[in-house]
Amino acid sequence: MSPPLSPSPSHSERFARLTELLAEWQHLWRPLPFQHWASPWGEAYSALEGALLALSDDEAARLQDAPFTASPLAEWLPVAELSDQVDLPELPGDARELPAAWAAHVGGRKWSQIEAFLPRVAASPGERLVEWCAGKGHLARALSRRDATEVTALEWQAALCRDGQRLADRQGAAVRMAEQDVLAPEAGRWLSPETHVAALHACGDLHGRLIELAAARGSALTLAPCCYQRTAAADYRPLSQQGQERAAALGLSLSREELAMAVQETVTAPRHVRVRREQAGAWRLGFDLLQREVRGVDAYLPVPSLAYGRLPVSFEAFCRWAAEQKGLDLPAVGIDWAAFEAAGARRRAAVTRRELVRHLFRRPLEVWLVLDRALRLEEAGFDVELGTFCARELTPRNLLLRASRR
């Protein structure tokens, strides 16, 4: 006879353990390897450093994609437990297939995400549907046509509201595009115990505002959060009381920059974009070596972001652009550009391997942040489900919260 299955931990239990793990190992996942000339962890972790640098290119790429699978880092890091803590169920949904014609005027990947998300939006009889941060109302139109009901779509940009209303009218979808800044004081007027709010990849403060308004007004919600770092606050303040207490007790604090770690996994970029991204990273690291020598200061110098499509045509041109951004005078002659470019490429290979430590804690941090949101709603008297709504290959931001007032 098979032993009984262990019950899944509650949201509070899972959150508590993830808080402990993130706090205990923060000395390893906080440092940014690209800012350091050598190991960011010192001699205490020389064996871990050696194991990372010994990885082949293929093994390093595999671990970037699947950090918990057959990881050689398990000798030093809690790989198995981190994997267990982020193992969330796929939430069930309506099995009805959406008509292909509904994808008109929606990008292919965006439509695939709507196809995965929409079946998990299950409004109760009598609930009014609202889309939060709607853009052109693509999700709202699909919801309206599926449920044969009116949907209100909130969007702050007037041009998107106009475009969305034209699309809804053309397709015969009962959608009302409403121009509304969801961060404005009056945004709560759209929520009540009789509304169900859907939000697919609402960012940072935008979904934080939704959670607070839903908690105050009793509105049900289906939410896929995103971009936790897009917030006005420089430092993260947990939404839940449990989060505030546990983080304070264990000394776990997060800056806006550290919140970004939770959403740095990308699996959707075309190959040419990934190649340019790798080249840009190597050039930045080559420039970093150059600027340390020119300035005589052995310290990292941050350079502004530059869209990959605007990357200069050569390493020298990139360095001269970067130096101009930082007010740094580079010699007109005498720089061995090929040597610095090659050194940047070698350093990029080492940084890629050192960053595998942060990769292990990236999904745990994201789950911790979403659990904090789930606990905020539970503390407000909601029943909350947390799981996934699609495979990570479609979008790594595949976590879903469903909540309704008890």
pLDDT of 3 strictly over 50: no
- One domain for residues 191 and 340: no
Q: How far apart (Å, rounded) are the C-alpha atoms in residues 177 and 163?
A: 9
The answer to whether residues 107 and 248 belong to one domain is yes
pTM: 0.93
Verify that 157 and 235 share a domain, yes or no. Answer: yes
Same domain, 133 and 168: yes
pLDDT (tens digit per residue) in 79-107:
999 999 999 999 999 888 899 999 999 99
For the residues 128-152, what does the mean pLDDT come to?
97
- 72 in a structural domain: no
Amino acid (one-letter) located at 159: A
Exposure string (b/e) for 248-260, b if CB count within 10 Å is 16 or more? eeeebebebebbe
Q: Is residue 258 part of a domain?
A: no
Over 50: is that where the pLDDT of 53 sits? yes
Looking at the structure, tell me whether residues 234 and 155 fall in a common domain: yes
- Shared domain check, 373 and 284: no
Q: Are residues 225 and 319 in the same domain?
A: no
For 206-233, the pLDDT digits (tens) are: 999 999 999 999 999 999 999 999 999 9
* Residue that has been written with the tokens 């290119």 in this structure: 57
d(CA 406, CA 386): 16
- The overall average pLDDT reported for the chain is 94
Closest by CA to 329, choosing from 292, 297, 295, is 295
Number of structural domains (the chain) is 2
pLDDT value for 305: 84
Residues 225 and 310 in one domain: no
Residues 350 and 367 in one domain: no
Nearest CA-CA partner of 219 in 140, 129, 94, 147: 129
Identify whether residues 137 and 236 lie together within a single domain. Answer: yes
If you average pLDDT over residues 327-345, what whole number do you get? 95
- pLDDT tens for each residue of 262-312: 998 876 567 777 788 889 999 999 999 999 999 999 999 999 887 666 889
Question: 387 and 344: one domain?
Answer: no
Is residue 135 situated within a structural domain? yes
β-pairing, 175-179 vs 195-203, is: unpaired
Instruction: Give the residue numbers spanning the domain of 398.
Output: 100-253+363-405
> What's the pLDDT score for residue 323?
96
Q: Is the pLDDT of residue 166 over 70?
A: yes
* Cβ pair 124, 404 in contact under 8 A: yes
Question: Would you state the pLDDT for residue 273?
Answer: 75
Per-residue pLDDT tens digits for 16-46? 999 999 999 999 999 999 999 889 998 999 9
